[in-house]
Chain A
């Protein structure tokens, strides 16, 4: 794909984030969509392309009254929205549609109108993982981390520092769920969830949603907001079974998606002003820093513990507070994208001064899928 041919011209989250007992999951989609439409200065009838995950495109399109000529229901977990951005950019470039709306919403906490998740007993996960007591992401996602720690000499304190640093960012963000400062000791003394991870190393469970609107870069200059260009994109999948990853020392999906996006954007790591790495759990930023090639894996833990990713650090990372402190409805990728767009527009609550390039890296399932988007505010 050619870089900077498509831009984000509308971006918004749901009016409220956190605990929203007044809306079903479907209405949260609509709330986010209407906010993004207003942000872009458009009408619903202007939307001719639509993408969403978990909920079907037909469900959300019908509810909103959208009549699309292009739809994408790619649903590969929390990074689905990174893949939607990539697919939408390709579709707009190919002339399949002009104006794409991407929505995410999840009643993750209140569970109103939330679709059930189940693992059939005759699926491969049902036969070869479920019988061993896996029960929700906290029991599965951290399974690789002890091997990763041993291979690279990563310490429990370094993994705790991920949560500490992200709380520093969250403290600057009025919409973050958790804003009180925490220490490494607080993290290591919090309730054990699935050793080696404790409560403060696991993501929040909240309600919310977000929506993006994309159009061609040529049209983007006529919109009210500063366009944010899609500079590079990448995607991949590996396996729905965490036990079957090629290795626990890295993520194959990350190592495929990330470099694809960097190559397409034509950037080097030193060009990155702002970085989002989907943090459902505290080890993901370490995998991301290594798999995206920012540094050797051995250095990732100390890099964060030394404060390089905190406010004022040389590589601002997860500047909304992340899934650990900002919000996490279950599929966090949309919120990472929203923060990248805010940073590129220059309106983030914890704005990185003069940021021109933002990399937004997502994970789906338990390292099952990945999508990476490079944004820029300069064409």
Chain B
């Protein structure tokens, strides 16, 4: 039997551009053309002003560590504990859940407010997941 795999996202019509972006090595957000609000997760209208005129743009991929847990048990399929489940605040404003790579999964190494940058983890030929690593420099 195959090893249990980590949960695979399945895109919808509203989120396809996001997953196309990660596959192309871009973190894509949306901005309202009417009120300039930047938001996540994806949807074809502005959750702040309800305008349907919104644009997709490539985000900087930079942000900081907003909060996290280090999960010990029970571990999700495809994960080896302990592993951090983090929430990253992007420079553009929205927050997203992620994992922190290239960093010990310890409270000492995972300092709140540390600067992070996006990296891309290919799960299969359809899905590439955005994750974050400590920013260089």
A interface residues, Cβ below 8 angstroms from B? 119-122, 124, 126-136, 138-140, 142-147, 150, 191-197, 241-244, 248
Contact = CB atoms under 8 A, between A and B. Distances in A.
B97 A146 contact: no
B75 interface: yes
Nearest to B112: A150
Given A121-B9, A143-B87, A248 B66 contact: yes
B90 to A, nearest CB: 12
Given A121-B9, A126-B10, A131 B41 contact: no
B9 A195 contact: no
Prevailing SS type, chain B contact patch: loop
Given A129-B97, A139-B69, A139-B76, A134 B12 contact: no
Nearest to B106: A195
Contacts of B76: 130, 133-135, 139
Size bracket of the B interface: 35 or more
26 contacts: A120-B10, A128-B41, A129-B97, A131-B8, A132-B99, A133-B78, A133-B83, A134-B71, A135-B74, A135-B75, A139-B76, A140-B85, A143-B67, A143-B85, A144-B67, A146-B67, A146-B69, A147-B67, A192-B72, A195-B70, A195-B71, A197-B69, A243-B96, A243-B97, A244-B40, A248-B67
B15 interface: yes
Contacts of B62: none
A127 B67 contact: no
Contacts of A195: 69-72, 82, 107
A322 B47 CA distance: 37
Interface string B83-106: 101110000000111110000000
A241 B96 CA distance: 10
Contacts of A127: 9-12, 15, 41
B85 A133 contact: yes
B57 interface: no
Contacts of A193: 72-73
A59 to B, nearest CB: 29
Ranked nearest first, the 3 interchain pairs of A and B with the lowest CB-CB distance are A135-B76, A195-B70, A147-B67
Nearest to A146: B67
Interface in B20-50: 40-41
Given A121-B9, A146-B112, 6 more contacts: A128-B97, A131-B8, A135-B74, A139-B76, A195-B69, A195-B70
B75 A133 contact: yes
A147 B67 CA distance: 5
Interface in B79-137: 79, 82-83, 85-87, 95-99, 107, 112, 123, 129
B33 to A, nearest CB: 22
Contacts of A140: 85
- Most A C-beta atoms less than 10 A away, residue of B11, B12, B85: B85
B85 A134 contact: yes
A127 B83 CA distance: 19
Contacts of A121: 7-10
B9 A133 contact: no
Contacts of A197: 69
Given A194-B69, A194-B72, A195-B107, A131 B129 contact: yes
A88 to B, nearest CB: 32
- Most A C-beta atoms less than 10 A away, residue of B7, B75, B129: B7
Contacts of B96: 128, 243
A142 B69 contact: yes
A125 to B, nearest CB: 10
Contacts of B69: 139, 142-143, 145-146, 194-197
